[in-house]
Amino acid sequence: MNAHAQTLSASRPAHLGWRIAVGGMAFTAAMLGAAMANAADDAFKLGSTIPASLTFSDAAGKVRTFGEFRGSPVVLEWTNPGCPFVKKHYDGGNMQKLQTEATADGASWITINSGAAGKQGYLDPKTAATEAQKLGYKSSVVVPDPEGKLGKAFGAETTPHMYVLDKDGKLVYMGAIDSIPSFDKADVAKAENYVTKALADLKAGKPVATAQTKSYGCSVKY
């Protein structure tokens, strides 16, 4: 298998001991350090072509490959239903709207949960499928990734963390979903959405103008 799909690891800096308060909730720096540790140096980089042979299993247990999505753009969305930054986009219907518009325009949308068993946000395949139905996902594919195979291969750090591939499987956007790093639903309408802009650039046959940003959200619980 391609080296990018192997388990990635790194050491969390020992000196991180401060705490960050977000919306009244305190998250330890150790949580952020763990997320950064999983974004290893050999994860896919901007401009990488994702191997067509790279496999994953969807919520129905079907083995899929990235090769089957060649020929059209692909959006990858890392999610955790309990994360307030994810709720910001799902509770108001924004994420479902983005999924609907993207797939109607010919793109594929893959929603991935890389939360490990026993960690906050973990969903087994059956529960992942139920959650997708309850929240009204409009994704093409829902992927439980409890071993973190895809998450670590792409260097996913947060929920949401977004990636866009072009029709040839080249990684042309990676980072935040939009320009306002909050979990306030009111900010959705004010923000610049980087995913929709990347897809629009691809459709127009232009290079993606904003190709990489810093993602925000809850740490992926590997």
pLDDT at 40: 54
pLDDT at 10: 36
Strand partners, 81: none
Q: 64 or 36: which carries more pLDDT confidence? A: 64
Q: Please report the domains of the chain, with CATH numbers, ordered by start residue.
A: 44-219 (3.40.30.10)
Q: 199-216 pLDDT, tens per residue?
A: 999 999 999 999 999 999
Q: 112-156 pLDDT, tens per residue?
A: 999 999 999 898 888 888 888 888 999 999 999 999 999 999 999
pLDDT at 26: 39
Q: What's the whole-number mean pLDDT along residues 31-49? A: 68
* Single pTM value for the model: 0.81
Tell me the pLDDT of the chain averaged across its residues.
86
Residue 8, both tokens: 């990635």
Cβ contacts of 36 within 8 Å, gap of 6 or more? 10, 12, 157
Is pLDDT above 90 for 109?
Answer: yes
pLDDT band, residue 42 (cuts 50/70/90): confident
Q: What's the whole-number mean pLDDT along residues 60-81? A: 97
- Say how far apart CA 198 and CA 204 lie, in whole Å: 10
SS3 readout for 96-164: HHHHHHHHHCCCEEEEEECCCCCCCCCCCHHHHHHHHHHHCCCCCEEEECCCCHHHHHHCCCEECEEEE
| Residue 107 near residue 75, CB atoms below 8 Å | yes
Q: Identify whether 144 is preceded by a cis peptide bond (ω within 30 of 0).
A: no
pLDDT at 125: 87
